[in-house]
């Protein structure tokens, strides 16, 4: 499959998540909540174990600045310049403007989801597949987040799912432009490393760390374990 194919699958995850939120599919939403925790564990692991060392090997200590920049950019776009945003299903009323600013903030993040996939495949097929998996795991929750926020802001179902589709489109765009835009071709891996670090540790983990019960923590640690298992399988398949 081409890199674009992987981007399209990831984009579809956004739309499926959006549909689940708009239709109020309770069972689906519970499952997606589990994916937040599982995705967080996987994403944190791939970033720390693979993306950061690879970025430093390629860009030297200068890459550290791009990691930090990626992290700060997500905070700026999702929280500083946003009325109301958190990951997961929106369960209380918000203003319509909150839906717009959250969408704009998430567009930057989802664009970098695409940059991460393309930068990963530019290094190796193994890293590309690992990053694709990390991103696909949080695409459904991402769709739920934006669509439920739009519904809570009083928008119709079609517009809410449309917002989720726009997130998917941003990811496809990220994949398509990474090879062509020089700063992304050179620093895309480090930048998206900062973004995925933020998404895993500052978007996804806070969503379940305050919740009771054992299922979500178990899903989180399983996510980390799943990363090592997937890495092992890919090495076996490749070698
Ligand atoms: Zn809220
Ligand atoms: Zn994302």
Query: For residues 159 and 150, is the Cβ–Cβ distance under 8 A?
Result: yes
**Which ligand ends up closest to the CA of 99?**
1
Q: What is the pLDDT of residue 24?
A: 86
Residue 189 C-alpha to ligand 2 middle, in angstroms? Answer: 15
Query: For residues 18 and 168, is the Cβ–Cβ distance under 8 A?
Result: no
Q: Which residues have C-beta under 5 Å from ligand 2, the single-atom ion?
A: 113, 142
> For 181, which DSSP code?
S
Residue 239 C-alpha to ligand 2 middle, in angstroms? Answer: 30
**Does the pLDDT value for residue 189 go beyond 90?**
yes
List pLDDT tens digits, range 87-127: 888 888 889 888 999 999 999 999 999 999 999 999 999 99
Q: What is the pLDDT of residue 239?
A: 61
Q: What is the mean predicted confidence (pLDDT) over 124-150?
A: 95
- What six digits make up the tokens of 227? 């990363």
- What band does 27 get if pLDDT is binned at 50, 70 and 90? confident
155 torsion bin: left (phi>0), alpha (psi -120 to 50), beta (else): beta
Q: How many residues does the chain have?
A: 239
List pLDDT tens digits, range 7-26: 999 999 999 999 999 998 88
Q: What is the pLDDT of residue 88?
A: 85
- Mean model confidence pLDDT for the chain: 94
**Cα–Cα distance measured from residue 51 to residue 42, given in angstroms and rounded to the nearest whole number:** 12
Q: Which residues have C-beta under 5 Å from ligand 1, the single-atom ion?
A: 90
């Amino acid at each position: 499959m081409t890199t674009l194919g992987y981007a399209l699958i990831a984009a579809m995850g956004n739309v499926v998540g959006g549909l689940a939120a708009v239709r109020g599919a309770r069972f689906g939403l519970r499952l997606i909540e589990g994916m937040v925790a599982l995705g967080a564990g996987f994403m944190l692991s791939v970033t720390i174990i693979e993306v950061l060392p690879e970025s430093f090997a390629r860009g030297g200590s200068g890459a550290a600045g791009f990691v930090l920049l990626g992290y700060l950019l997500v905070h700026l776009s999702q929280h500083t310049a946003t009325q109301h945003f958190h990951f997961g299903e929106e369960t209380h009323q918000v203003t319509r403007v909150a839906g717009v600013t959250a969408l704009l903030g998430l567009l930057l993040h989802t664009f970098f989801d695409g940059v991460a996939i393309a930068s990963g495949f530019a290094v190796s097929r193994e890293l590309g597949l690992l990053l694709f998996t990390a991103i696909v795991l949080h695409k459904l929750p991402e769709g739920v987040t934006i669509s439920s926020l739009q519904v809570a802001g009083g928008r119709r179902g079609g517009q809410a799912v449309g917002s989720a589709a726009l997130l998917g489109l941003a990811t496809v765009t990220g994949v398509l432009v990474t090879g062509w835009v020089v700063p992304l071709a050179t620093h895309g891996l480090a930048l998206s490393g900062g973004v995925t670090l933020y998404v895993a540790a500052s978007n996804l983990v806070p969503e379940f760390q305050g919740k009771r019960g054992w299922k979500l923590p178990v899903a989180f640690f399983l996510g980390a374990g799943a990363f090592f298992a997937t890495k092992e399988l890919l090495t076996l398949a490749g070698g």
